[in-house]
Each structure stands twice: as C-alpha cells, then as structure tokens.
Amino acid sequence: MQSFRTELENPIVEKDIIELEKKIHLFREGKISAEKFRSLRLARGVYGQRQQGVQMVRIKLPYGKLSVKQLLKIADISDEYATGNLHLTTRQDIQIHYVSLEKTPELWAKLEEDNITLREACGNTVRNITASSIAGIDADEPFDISPYAQAMFKYFLRNPVCQDMGRKFKIAFSSSDKDSALTYMHDLGFIPKIRIEGTKEVRGFKVLVGGGLGAQPFLAKTAHEFLHEDLIIPYTESLLRVFDRHGERASRHKARLKFLIDKIGFDELTRLASEELKALKVKSYRVDYDSYPRDVVFAATNASTIEIKNKAIYEAWLKTNTFEQKQKGFFGVYIKVQTGDIKTDKARLLAAVVKKHASDDIRITVNQGLLLKFIRKELLPNVFTELDNIGLAEPGFDSTADITACPGTDTCNLGISSSTGITRELERVIKDEYPDLIYNNDIKIKISGCMNSCGQHGIANIGFQGSSLKAGVNVLPALQILLGGGTQGNGNGRVSEKIIKIPSKKGPQALRTLLDDFEINSLDEEYFNNYYDRKGKDYFYRLLKPLAGLSNLSTDDFVDWGHEVKYESAIGVGECADVVIDLVATLLFESEEKLAWAKESFAQNQFADSIYHSYSVFVSTAKALLLDKQVSCNAQNAIINDFDKHYVADGPFKFSPDFRTYVLRINQFEPAKEFAEKYLNDVDQFFNQSKSFREKQLEISNKDISTTKIIYSSK
C-alpha cells in the first residue's frame, strides 16, 4: 500500500500521512464516496482545483510565521511537485497549485521534516489562526499576542471538538486597537488589553464573536470587553462545542457561526456555551508567555553601506515600506507582492537577504505581502538594494496601489471571473496615472473572483466582486462594485455596499471615475469613507451608471482579463468517483473509525478527547440509521431529536429516559475517567447494536428483492 517511507519524529503526524495515502487508494478504488473523500483530504490541506485532475495544496503557517529554512523547503517542494510559484493568502498561508493527488502524502511528509503542516489547512475545522504580522514589534501593542496565537493553534489542532463541524471556523488576533488582523470579520477575534487589578497589570483580551464575509457579511459582536488571558482557550472550546452541535449542516451557505447567532440569538449562544463549561478539558489554560521563543537576530555583516542609485525610489520605499520597531534601532521592512505570487527563484534570493540582514522570522501579512524584522537602520540601504535587484522593493505597501486579490478563475473552483488579471491592470493604472497614491493608506482596494470574499472585497473602501452579465445570448465577465467598507479599530468595521455591476473591461475606467471624483469633490483632508457617506450610495450609482450599459460592447468585452478566449460563465469541475456508494455503510465505517479513536484516547488517559469522540460516534451512527429511513439530517441537535422520533419512540432502540438525554450527558459531567469509561462502553454497545440492526435490515431487504425477482420470473 505505502509507496514512500516516512521517518518523522511525530508518530501522530506520520500516522495521519499514511492514513491519507490509504484513503486515496480507497477513493481511487471507489470504496469511499467523492463527498466523504473531499472532507478527508480537505482536513489534510488538499483542495480540488478548477482544473480537473490536479490539486491545490494549502500549507498552514500559524499567524504567518515562517523561518528561512521553511521558506527554502517550501520553494523546493513547489519546484518538485508544483509549478515553482508560491501564492501568499489573506489567511497567511502559502498555496501551491497543480499537484498530483497521489503525490500529496509524499509532499506532506517532506514538509513535516521542517515542522510545516498541512493539517486542517482546509475543511470544516479551525482554519489557520491569523494575527497581526507586526506582533512582537508593534510600538502600539500592550503585549505580544504571538504566544497566544501559537497556543490556540496547538490546542485545537486535531482536537476532537472541531474535526467535523458544519463549516470552517476562523480565529484572529490583533496586536493593538488598530485591529490590523481584522478581528471584526472573524468567527472569533481577540484584541489585547491590559487591566489594573489591585496593584498588578493583568493581561486579557477584548473578544469578538460571529463575524464573517461572504455573500451575507456580518460584523462580529462583542462577547467580552475583557477576558482574562487564561480563559480564552476554554471560552473558544465552549463556542466550538456549541457550533458543532447546533450549527447548520444541510445548507452549506447557512453553516457558519454568524448564521447560528442570527437564528438563535447571541444570548442563547452564550447560554449554551455556559452549559459546556463543566465538560471542558480545562477550565483555565495558562499560556507560558515568557517561554515563547523570541526573535533570533542574525549577526550583522560588516559590509559598508551601499550607495543608492535611485534615491527618489529609495525615499519612497523608506516612507511606505519601513517603520521603526518598538525595539529602538531596529526596523521592520514590508515587501509588496503583487497578487501574492512569488516565484521560487525569488524566494530563494529573498531567503539569502533575510539570513544576511534580518531576523529568522518572516511574516506573511493579511494583504498577501511579507514582513522582515529586526533590520538595523544603517543597513536599510543594503536591504533596499538587494531587494530591488530581485524585484521586491516596489514602494507602496498596503497603499491604494497595493491591491488584495484572491486567485479567482486562475485556479479556484468557485471563481466566476478573473481577480488577478484585473488586479494587475488596476495597479498599472495607479502606477502610471496616479503615482502619488503609493502614499495613500486610506483607500484600500480589494478584489474577489466570487461572492465568497476571499479577497476581502466585502470590507474594502473600493471593492470588486467577480460576476457575469448576459448580453442577448452571450455572457460576459463582470465586476460588482462595492464601496465604503473598512476597519475602524478596536473590533469595529464597516461592510462595503453594493453599488452597480459593470463589464469587467470597464473596471479601469470605473476606478479612474472614482479616483477623479474623489480628487475633485472631496473636502480638505477628507477620508474616502467620509466622502462616500456625505455623497450617499445613489450618487455613486449615478456616477458609475454610464459604464454599466451593454449596448456598445466590443469583442474584447467578452474576453476576461488575462485570457485570450471568449468568456464562459461556469464554475470549475470537481471530483467524481464514478461509482455508486452506500452512504449509510460509509457513515457506519466512519463511526467505527471514531470509536477506535475514542478507545485509543481513553487508553492514553485523554478522557476529555475520548468523551468527545464517543459523542461523535453516537451522532454519526444515528445519522446513518436515519438516512437508511430517508430522514433528512441537519444539525447534530436535530439528528439526536430525530433518532428519538424514528427509532426510540416506537422502535427497536430503548434508552432511559430517551436518546437525547442519554447522548447529551456529554456536558453534564466532568471529563473524568469514570464517566469517560461509562460513556465509551455505552456508545460501543450502541454502535454494535446499530450495526447488527442494519445488517438484519439488509438481509430482509435482499430477501424481498429475491422474492420479487422469483415472482416476476414465474409470470
């Protein structure tokens, strides 16, 4: 079965990689459904591309932290298994594309040699935990949030409470009230605070809950103005347990935490979370702040300062791409990376610059750039020159000229129209026609290829969403323009408003129209959003309406940016096993697997994990039997209720007093050995009873089919 050898220090990871290879074989043999296999590989960072037969591999980098050694390893992996390109994401991950499915276990094993993981980079679990890239060097930060982001990442990685939720769950830590990590658009966001208690300074966090973008953006609600540092992980676990049990599962578009809050109310969410406190693995989780590994500063070279040839560009770079850290005498240097794409040859040259002049701690930023840390002031000319030589010293980081964009139709299954092509064109327009906008940090432009807002267009001052328009019998690529979004600070934000949809090829002219009007009609020192509010939504609709007309289209309007053939509105193809699958049997197989995990956790005295795995067996087994009766299954809470209705009330299963009470003991007891053992034995008995029941039903069904055939043939 195994086509490669792993020699990893972490046996759990090694087992996970080998398990992925086994699942690939089972999928290819038609023994696992496409839908089930999709969830298995997504949890291991393997995502289907728009192009059939190849995968996108998402490399999970907690809070965007990356060492030189890791950068070089990822570059090597991309050259060997992908296309020699690294794509930096707004989630501070790195993605590589066009990877063969069969090669993903081998690729993953090689990454793990340098402590780089794919685990839970995709899928219905806790995604990569993001954070302000300047954490640890931010002059405005109350304290460094990096240790807390790291602790959160480790605690919930492969944690049973978040392995098979209805949808993904996103967490962010900002370093200060400026909220550069955009906590207000996350399921759970943390902003550091200091409070005086008695004579002591106490660390804690403002906590935001229930934010999200997508087709229906929601701004997060404040759950706590101040939550003690040792309570953030228990609080997070209580929310995850509620989301797992009560969250939507039938409709993918309604399965985020924001929709659960909208359905049951924030007060009810809080009440349900409080009911989970007794069953939590830990009631308090202290993060060892002082033991967190601080920056390794490479020794400075003795090289003399280089003479700058183009002083104008250097001065612009100093103003827009560098800042003094809270550690006096040291500077952070930002690198603008267009569309987040950096070739591996450049990545290797960048690694050499970092090793020579900076700390061994590169950070990916939330706008798809890079941050280098701990560069001595006197070496800034050297760093600029060396970055300039490799094309990575363009001024204007995080300015109007630095546009955020998802991959769009280049590779994404869900992309409707181009993101990267239009981004390159708009950046060219700004560079050529509005060069001073590299100094503007007020107007943020963000572009997504669809409504899901991976490019964050939903919180942009000027946002573009990929779409399509119909002109007679033909379809052309389009852009939905949104205005007025942005970050306000301390967990507050604004959602962009949809204004009008225009043909994609009119995008550059739309940008010119907006920028020119702002230049002419804005008040002195007026911010863009204030100008938008003062003028009103209808003003901008009328301003842009002439660009929306479809009466004078050219052939070029029907070709998307970066493409040469006529546009077709289509979502990319997915995977198909081309076989008929017994979904009930697949779910029972999954239950058996989870039962083994429960027993394994119990044997290792991990009682809280064992209890939650046991709970998952109850739910997945009940779901299997309900599907056998053609009962539609939704949230776990509904599955438990429906099992009572269809199998306990007048059926073959007996529970005292009912199945719901029997299962939901999970949050009624401390996670101690006695209860874990009792709960495990109960679910073991339930699973075996369910399996036997199903086998008998199949026997009866097969006999009925045989009888029908005999009667039919006798006629």
Question: Does residue 263 sit in the same domain as residue 165?
Answer: yes
Instruction: Say if residue 407 is preceded by a cis peptide, omega within 30 of 0.
Output: no
Encoding tokens for residue 426? 């708009």
Beta strands in 198-282 (DSSP E): 200-209, 221-228
pTM: 0.92
Question: Does residue 362 sit in the same domain as residue 473?
Answer: no
Question: Residue 124 domain-assigned?
Answer: no
C-alpha to C-alpha distance for 662 and 643, rounded to whole angstroms: 12
Q: Which of 263, 291, 319 is the last residue of a domain?
A: 291
Find residue 130's DSSP bridge partners: 172
**What's the chain's length in residues?**
715
- Band the pLDDT of 705: cuts 50, 70, 90: very low
C-alpha to C-alpha distance for 480 and 413, rounded to whole angstroms: 19
Question: Residue 398 domain-assigned?
Answer: no
Q: What average pLDDT does this structure show over 395-409?
A: 95
pLDDT per residue as tens digits for the range 624-652: 999 888 898 889 999 999 999 999 998 88
Of 230, 185, 236, nearest to 211 by C-alpha is 185
Question: Does residue 148 sit in the same domain as residue 236?
Answer: yes
Question: Does residue 337 sit in the same domain as residue 449?
Answer: no
Q: What is the pLDDT of residue 715?
A: 30
Number of compact structural domains in the chain: 5
CATH of the domain at 701: 1.20.120.330
Question: Does residue 149 sit in the same domain as residue 246?
Answer: yes
Question: Does residue 412 sit in the same domain as residue 385?
Answer: no
Question: Angle CA(450)–CA(181)–CA(191) in degrees, nearest 5?
Answer: 135
CATH of the domain at 334: 3.30.70.3340
- Is residue 259 over pLDDT 60? yes
> Residue 246 belongs to what domain range?
138-291
Question: Does residue 554 sit in the same domain as residue 611?
Answer: no
C-alpha to C-alpha distance for 158 and 601, rounded to whole angstroms: 12
Question: Residue 622 domain-assigned?
Answer: yes
Pairing of strands 55-59, 94-99: antiparallel
Question: Residue 296 domain-assigned?
Answer: no
- Is residue 587 over pLDDT 70? yes
Question: Residue 125 domain-assigned?
Answer: no
Question: Does residue 225 sit in the same domain as residue 180?
Answer: yes
C-alpha to C-alpha distance for 190 and 223, rounded to whole angstroms: 10
Question: Residue 577 domain-assigned?
Answer: no
Encoding tokens for residue 485? 């979004």
Under 8 Å between Cβ of 698 and 691: no
Sign of CA dihedral 344, 345, 346, 348: positive
Q: What average pLDDT does this structure show over 71-100?
A: 96
- The answer for residues whose C-beta is within 8 angstroms of residue 541's C-beta and 6 or more apart is 499, 500
pLDDT per residue as tens digits for the range 340-350: 999 999 999 99
Question: Residue 335 domain-assigned?
Answer: yes
In eight-state DSSP terms, residue 6 is: -
Q: What is the pLDDT of residue 320?
A: 98
Question: Does residue 281 sit in the same domain as residue 340?
Answer: no
- Band the pLDDT of 574: cuts 50, 70, 90: very low
pLDDT per residue as tens digits for the range 589-637: 889 989 999 999 999 999 999 999 999 999 999 999 998 888 988 899 9
Question: Does residue 58 sit in the same domain as residue 151?
Answer: no
Q: What is the pLDDT of residue 706?
A: 45
Q: What is the pLDDT of residue 372?
A: 98
pLDDT per residue as tens digits for the range 193-221: 999 999 999 999 999 999 999 989 999 99
Question: Does residue 474 sit in the same domain as residue 597?
Answer: no
Question: Residue 565 domain-assigned?
Answer: no
Q: What is the pLDDT of residue 4?
A: 52
pLDDT per residue as tens digits for the range 315-373: 999 999 999 999 999 999 999 999 999 999 999 999 999 999 999 999 999 999 999 99
C-alpha to C-alpha distance for 53 and 81, rounded to whole angstroms: 14
Question: Does residue 329 sit in the same domain as residue 365?
Answer: yes
CATH of the domain at 188: 3.30.413.10
Could you tell me which residue, 9 or 334, shows the higher pLDDT?
334
Of 59, 123, 142, nearest to 94 by C-alpha is 59
C-alpha distances in Å from residue 266, one per residue of 252, 258, 261, 428 = 21, 10, 5, 45
Q: Is 554 left (phi over 0), alpha (psi -120 to 50) or beta?
A: beta
Under 8 Å between Cβ of 683 and 614: yes
Q: What is the pLDDT of residue 300?
A: 61
Matching residue, tokens 């347990």: 241
- Band the pLDDT of 302: cuts 50, 70, 90: low
